[in-house]
Structure formats: structure tokens, C-alpha cells
Amino acid sequence: MQPILSEADLNTTIDAERALLVYFSHVHCNVCKVLKPKIQDLVIHRYPKIKMLYCDTINQPEIAAQHAVFAVPTILIWFQGKETFRFSRNIGLTEFEEAIARPYALLFED
């Protein structure tokens, strides 16, 4: 996952991408370390047109605050520039996949 460098870069990416996932966490979160590769693998293999970014909430607290992220892990997903899903703390992979499957199919599949 590519790191977010600034709020301006994130906003530009939100506007430019049809689908965007931002994974908010930090190095001290053990749950985040386990969940992140599972989310990456799922998105890469099942939803490859979703762009993924990473926000370290310790190094970029202003970005997390701008998006009302106060707990980690938090995953925000935008479809067509609108925040569509927000998953925080206890994130189940099945729930995550079921939530994004339909909007992804409507947006990308013929």
C-alpha cells in the first residue's frame, strides 16, 4: 500500500479514482499488522480496480483527524468520490467483502 503524504494528495486521489481504500493504522497496533495483509490480498485478488493507500496515524494525525479516524485499524472506502464505507476496530473479512462486492460490481463489471 502506498503511503499518504499529505491531505492534498489524498483529496486529489479521492477525486481522481473511481474506487479508493485508505487503511488507517500505526506501527504499535498488533491487530493492524495481522489485518493489513489480509485486506491487501483480498482487494488485490478480488477487487483489483480499488486503489489502496495507507495512513500512519502517528505520523499523519491531521489526516486521520480530518476524516474522523480516532481508532485503528480503520478502513475508509470511497466510490466515485463519496465515502461509502467505514470499518473500524473489529473488522471481519466476510463483512468487509460482502459490503464492497455490490458497489464494486456495479461500478466496474459489465
The tally of domains found in the chain comes to 1
What distance in Å separates the CA atoms of residue 15 and residue 100, rounded to the nearest whole number?
A: 19
Structural domain harbouring 78: 2-108
What letter represents residue 7's amino acid?
E
Domain CATH for 103: 3.40.30.10
What letter represents residue 24's amino acid?
F
Query: Does the pTM exceed 0.75?
Result: yes
The 10s digit of each residue's pLDDT in 3-53 is 999 999 999 999 999 999 999 999 999 999 999 999 999 999 999 999 999
* Residues in the chain, overall count: 110
Is there a contact between 24 and 73 (Cβ–Cβ < 8 Å)?
Answer: yes
Is there a contact between 43 and 21 (Cβ–Cβ < 8 Å)?
Answer: yes
Please name which of 66, 54, 48 lies closest in space to residue 23, comparing C-alpha atoms. Answer: 54
The 10s digit of each residue's pLDDT in 89-103 is 989 999 999 999 999
